[in-house]
Structure 1
């Protein structure tokens, strides 16, 4: 069933029109970001997916853009080919299914790129992804900002936005190389950029009042995402600074 999404008229995500976006982002708290609001790119990938190495490499190359922050999710539904996904988050398939419903897809697939939670595309075309990034950069900043202090975060809005979920994503910073022993990519070194390891629902925000909460990354690298409950549009995100001693 089709959804009327906030982004259809507020940020004009253009997925319905056949136009897309992609994901730029700063690798730190960007509450004071000026002209260009960073964008998050999520890639759903698998060691046993024959097309995924190409998508992985495209995302690695695109990560050189400081306005892009990529996250790679390992998905478990290719494990029938014999290779276990050691970093597949327990609820990653639920997240991808939610995206599939939002974008009226038949179901999850790989390699899938989701741009700022607001549009999706195959991960095999850098040109298409960059085209989507261009359109995201032109859209209205929703005016939501995350700020961090030691062991806590706060969310502030300059206006009123829809109710949003707050997600914590633990990830392995930089490049992680996996070498599957089975499947179509057996014996091949597969690099992944910012490989996600865990997805935690921190809470829900009403989209109006300022919110402050503690946050614990368990000593790992992690990002915090504020994402609309109904449309899944990413309103803001930030890399949580390492705790100071």
Structure 2
């Protein structure tokens, strides 16, 4: 009887326990190597990358390439992700250098005081997260929890945790050396999450040494509901 009662109690508390831990605050930095104002912003983001409880991601965008320097890390899908935040955050157009904090708020990345206030607010108000577990190299499980109407989205982000220096040779930042941290190299939508335990397949890594982060997010640029990084993953060996 005692064993049965204990099992029943564990069954009741497990879902709550799975939702007890809060995720790290995710900061998305939209920037461009050809954007003059982004040089100062890099310093702030580099410091955030070192802060416990914060995951800072650099998303280089390509819409400033016409100024004379093609960003060496930019991808069109990064600019599309930034555009998805326009309506939820009541913005007319995308800009750089921009920080989006946990999908909840945004600020210019040169407004250090405002950014600090928004980080504190996100840390204080973000809700319990669904449990996220990596199962081997190619699977991730997302547990149960309250899902947005229509379901949430599960995203895989792979980024380079090593600082990268880029010498800009043309455009507004000609002659400057930029140090960029946590540059995103790949983002993939894994599927829909409807509040029930669900398993997702991870694509193979295309580069060595990248950090993998799983995001559970409300759709169409909504708030981030959960986030979890994993250990670095080696790319599949190429042919000899």
Whole-Å separation in 1 of the counterparts to 2:32 and 2:119: 24
Q: Give the 5 Å matches for 1:210-225.
A: 210-218=197-205, 219=208, 220-225=210-215
- The alignment status of 1:165 with 2:153, answered yes or no, reads yes
Q: Is the 8 A contact 1:101 1:107 kept in 2?
A: no
Give 1 or 2 for the bigger CA radius of gyration: 2
Unaligned residue ranges in structure 1 (runs of 5+): 1-30
Greater length-normalized contact order (CA 8 Å, ≥ 6 residues apart): 1
Could you say which residue in structure 1 is the equivalent of 2:177? 189
Deviation, 1:44, is 0.2
Count of residues paired in the alignment:
213
Could you say which residue in structure 1 is the equivalent of 2:119? 133
Whole-Å separation in 1 of the counterparts to 2:60 and 2:105: 19
Whole-Å separation in 1 of the counterparts to 2:131 and 2:197: 10
Could you say which residue in structure 2 is the equivalent of 1:82? 68
Q: Is the 8 A contact 1:155 1:212 kept in 2?
A: yes
Whole-Å separation in 1 of the counterparts to 2:114 and 2:228: 25
- The alignment status of 1:232 with 2:234, answered yes or no, reads no
Deviation, 1:126, is 1.7
Whole-Å separation in 1 of the counterparts to 2:110 and 2:180: 15
Runs of 4+ in 1 over 4 A off after TM superposition: 31-36
CA RMSD of aligned residues (A): 2.2
Q: Check 1:79–1:70 CA distance in 2 against 1; reply closer, same or farther (3 A cut).
A: same
Q: Is the 8 A contact 1:142 1:161 kept in 2?
A: no
Q: Is the 8 A contact 1:117 1:232 kept in 2?
A: yes
Q: Give the 5 Å matches for 1:57-76.
A: 57-76=43-62
Unaligned residue ranges in structure 2 (runs of 5+): 1-16, 235-240
Q: Check 1:203–1:36 CA distance in 2 against 1; reply closer, same or farther (3 A cut).
A: closer
Higher helix share: 2
Whole-Å separation in 2 of the counterparts to 1:115 and 1:142: 17
So what's the TM-score if we normalise by structure 1? 0.80
